[in-house]
């Protein structure tokens, strides 16, 4: 892995990255145009060679020129065509190598994006209802609020107020101390370790397990969109980095049959800058709702929360 030090502000870094991507895309477009021109020139040469061959055959048949002269012309034309063909093959090889190098560099430079299966947005409905709920740990003030399926909520509060406890209470992992909790939809708890993922399964099998309606071809397309191509889809989840697990987890919940509602417990912790940006983009475009715990103000703003609950 090669580390690049920029030494500039984040806003300037974003502009510089966009410029790098644009420059690489321009170079790739130029190579594609050169390949098209080369193919057109090769086709023209073949057409001219066929025309000369037909003319030579006609002259040979008419007997108007000596056979020795005709053979010499034919040999010279064949040698010229062979030389041009070799040069064209060499040039095409150079263009292919340059294209592969630029494509690889562009893939590393350009921010990845999630390819999400399109489905109808679920009707507006209530997901959670808390009536005088007192948490087992943290704040002892009774909680009263409702959550709907399209809510994107930032759960705020100082350390120790019970943010993680509340999320685990919503999934019934921690019982309420008092009050009533009603849940009308499946909830998916995602923390910085992305425990949703089965480490014993491959990337491909993890998505197939959760997203029953997807076929293998579609899943491979989804995985390719987040950087897992060819045999990489058979990699076991236990071998993934934090950023890679984030991509896999978001790919799962973004394509689950019924639009999921997420409980996000500081999922941006320990992610590198690129992974954090990708997570923010995917949450911003996520069709379902979520409750997010994060201390990163910039990250919270980036995901587009439309509501805040404070403890």
Q: What is the pLDDT of residue 92?
A: 82
Q: Which of 31-45, 113-127, 295-309 has the lowest mean pLDDT?
A: 113-127
Q: What is the pLDDT of residue 27?
A: 85
Q: What is the pLDDT of residue 164?
A: 93
CATH fold label, 126-310: Rossmann fold (3.40.50)
Q: At what angle do helices 242-254 and 203-210 cross, to 10 degrees?
A: 30
| pLDDT-derived band at 118, boundaries 50, 70, 90 | very low
Q: What Cα–Cα distance (Å) separates residue 297 from each residue in 12, 68, 228, 251?
A: 19, 86, 30, 24
Q: What is the pLDDT of residue 161?
A: 94
* Domain ranges, ordered by start, for the chain: 10-109, 126-310
User: Residue 265 phi/psi, 5° resolution?
Assistant: -100, 90
Q: Please, are residues 243 and 274 in contact by the beta-carbon 8 Å criterion?
A: yes
Average pLDDT in the chain: 82
Check pLDDT > 60 for residue 115: no
Q: Please, are residues 93 and 264 in contact by the beta-carbon 8 Å criterion?
A: no
| Span 130-161, pLDDT tens digits | 999 999 999 999 999 999 988 999 999 999 99
Which of 4-8, 95-99, 122-126, 305-309 tops mean pLDDT?
A: 305-309
| Span 188-206, pLDDT tens digits | 888 888 888 999 999 999 9
Please state the rounded mean pLDDT for residues 45-70: 66
Residue of 189, 256, 259 lying closest to 222 (CA atoms): 256
Q: What is the pLDDT of residue 114?
A: 53
Query: Residue 62 burial by CB count (10 A; 0-12/13-18/19+): exposed, middle or buried?
Result: exposed
Check pLDDT > 60 for residue 2: no
Which of 126-140, 183-197, 275-289 tops mean pLDDT?
A: 126-140
Question: In DSSP terms, which residues pair with 191 in a beta bridge?
Answer: 265
CA dihedral of 58, 63, 68, 74, whole degrees rounded to 10:
0
Q: What is the pLDDT of residue 111?
A: 58
Residue of 298, 293, 296 lying closest to 308 (CA atoms): 293
Q: What is the pLDDT of residue 108?
A: 60
Instruction: Flag whether the pTM goes above 0.75.
Output: no
User: What sign results for the dihedral spanned by CA atoms 274, 120, 208, 184?
Assistant: positive
């Amino acid at each position: 892995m090669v580390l690049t030090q920029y030494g500039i502000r984040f806003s300037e870094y974003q502009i510089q990255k966009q410029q790098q991507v644009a420059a690489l895309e321009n170079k790739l477009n130029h190579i594609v145009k050169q390949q098209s021109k080369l193919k057109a020139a090769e086709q023209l040469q073949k057409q001219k060679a066929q025309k000369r061959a037909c003319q030579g055959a006609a002259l040979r048949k008419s007997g108007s020129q000596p056979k020795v002269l005709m053979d010499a012309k034919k040999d010279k034309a064949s040698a010229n065509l062979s030389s041009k063909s070799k040069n064209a093959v060499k040039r095409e090889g150079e263009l292919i190598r340059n294209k592969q190098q630029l494509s690889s560099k562009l893939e590393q430079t350009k921010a990845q994006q999630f390819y999400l299966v399109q489905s109808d947005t679920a009707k507006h409905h209530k997901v959670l209802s808390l009536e005088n709920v007192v948490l087992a740990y943290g704040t002892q003030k009774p909680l009263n609020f409702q959550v709907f399926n399209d809510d994107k909520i930032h759960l705020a509060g100082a350390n120790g107020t019970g943010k993680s406890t509340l999320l685990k209470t919503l999934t019934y992992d921690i019982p309420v101390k008092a009050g009533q909790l009603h849940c009308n939809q499946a909830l998916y708890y995602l923390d910085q370790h992305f425990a949703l993922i089965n480490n014993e399964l491959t990337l491909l099998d993890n998505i197939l397990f959760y997203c029953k309606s997807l076929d293998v071809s579609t899943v491979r397309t989804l995985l390719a969109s987040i950087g897992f191509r060819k045999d990489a889809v058979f990699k076991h989840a236990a071998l993934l980095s934090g950023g890679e697990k984030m991509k896999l987890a978001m790919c799962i919940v973004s394509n689950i049959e019924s639009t999921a509602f997420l409980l996000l417990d500081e999922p941006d912790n320990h992610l590198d800058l690129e992974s954090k940006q990708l997570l923010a983009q995917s949450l911003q475009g996520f069709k379902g709702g979520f409750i997010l715990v994060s201390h990163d103000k910039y990250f919270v703003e980036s995901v587009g929360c439309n509501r805040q609950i404070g403890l």
